[in-house]
Structure 1
């Protein structure tokens, strides 16, 4: 399994299995901070009066949509994921809460059919950890390709805290307590054990920040709550 955890089919199967409980578990694993972080990682975006095109990559069950629409209400929101299980709930949310105004796409971002130079904003919350460095480079290149010149992007991921005590406590919580909760919710803790394995390997978003910057995107690292989440944001400038 060690060599296959970044295989897209493995990742898709993992999130399909967790889809029925993932939104609750994401809230629990972040001690409730995920809602605040979803707002905070959009704060770097400049307000715009024109009808902006936004795409939310690895959208999951649509947990970021509310924060996005509040930040940029005059916008068209397209969302993308490759997990059938996650998109089942995302489509239900689009229908019941957003009058089917959300454009839901089932595609692999690493092999997508998105238009070039099209989006004003690219967002992605809590999906970076499932990519290895090579895949992150593809993700960066695709982000650059689909953004308009001057377009903005923001990514965030749960990370290992900087503080030693907090890191130990957080590791115990994610590695031991969360699988127990996973057993209670799913009857099987293995999927939620993998979340900690991904987080442990990811560490923080500094390497991903460098990878995005190396493609020519203007990129800045960001940290939230003592490093419990990290990310980056930036702009596509004229070549």
Structure 2
């Protein structure tokens, strides 16, 4: 039985999806992924100050345009442990940041990121790939790398509480998305994993509890009737 939370398994999965992940994120969310990005990043506010900003599990850089607009004078970093995601995001990095982005291929659960360094931490659609013990490590890392008063915001596709919406959403992610995955990848199983992760993750409530235990003030957020949820807040 494969361990779907094993970092090497997750890395290979996202390596394989790297060529089409941005398009599929849009499709799996019925086109809401862009709106949810704007909403969850809005929790971080905006500033013209020279801040240190890092986008975790950065994928293909889908957050970068919004972050650049909201923090025009910041020093930016992005981290992902999928080498192919990193490689495929380089053209966007050049386009958005004109070479002024530190692009890091590391595992956030065992990274070399500096302590008490970042003013802003963002992360979209990565929480579901962590089990509870890994979320504990993640929360400790967020607390470690943030400055006091530094802000964070996470968003994740979630299992809606409304039963009718849940039935429809489950069918869509479990049946329609793999077919589209076959169209884009020739392999429907990779994108079928997105629903498996989502169903096990459920929502961001457990993440909120874990983050609150690690010197972090946390708000719980719901987007579109719970089809996405998130946590945001700051380091005490």
TM-score by length of 1: 0.96
> Cα gap change, 1:215/1:204 in structure 2, threshold over 3 Å: closer, same or farther?
same
How far apart are 1:72 and its partner, in Å?
A: 1.7
* Corresponding position of 1:65: 64
Q: Deviations over 1:16-75 (max 9, x none)?
A: 011111110000000111111111002222333320110000000100101111222221
Render the CA deviation track for 1:81-123: whole Å, top value 9, x for unaligned. Answer: 0001111111121123431122100100000000000000010
Who is 2:12 aligned against? Answer: 13
Using structure 2 for the length normalisation, give the TM-score.
0.97
Pairing of 1:98-113 with structure 2 (within 5 A): 98-113=97-112
Unaligned runs of 5+ residues in structure 2 are none
Residue 203 of structure 1 and its aligned partner are, at CA, apart by: 0.4
* Map 1:68-83 → 2, pairs under 5 A: 68-83=67-82
Distance across 1 between alignment mates of 2:44 and 2:108: 22
Matched, 1:198 2:191: no
- The 1-side partners of 2:185 and 2:45 are apart by 41
Q: Mean alpha-carbon deviation: is it higher for 95-104 or for 222-231? A: 95-104
The 5 Å alignment of 1:88-167 reads 88-167=87-166
Name which of structure 1's ranges 166-175 and 90-99 shifts more when overlaid on structure 2.
90-99
Q: Per-residue deviation at 1:231?
A: 0.4
Residue 158 of structure 1: CA displacement? Answer: 0.3
Task: Say which is worse superposed, 91-100 or 135-144, in terms of deviation.
Answer: 91-100
SS at match of 1:41: helix
The separation in 1 between residues aligned to 2:138 and 2:151, in whole angstroms, is: 15
1:177 is aligned to 2:176? yes
Residue aligning to 2:84: 85
Count of matched residue pairs? 236
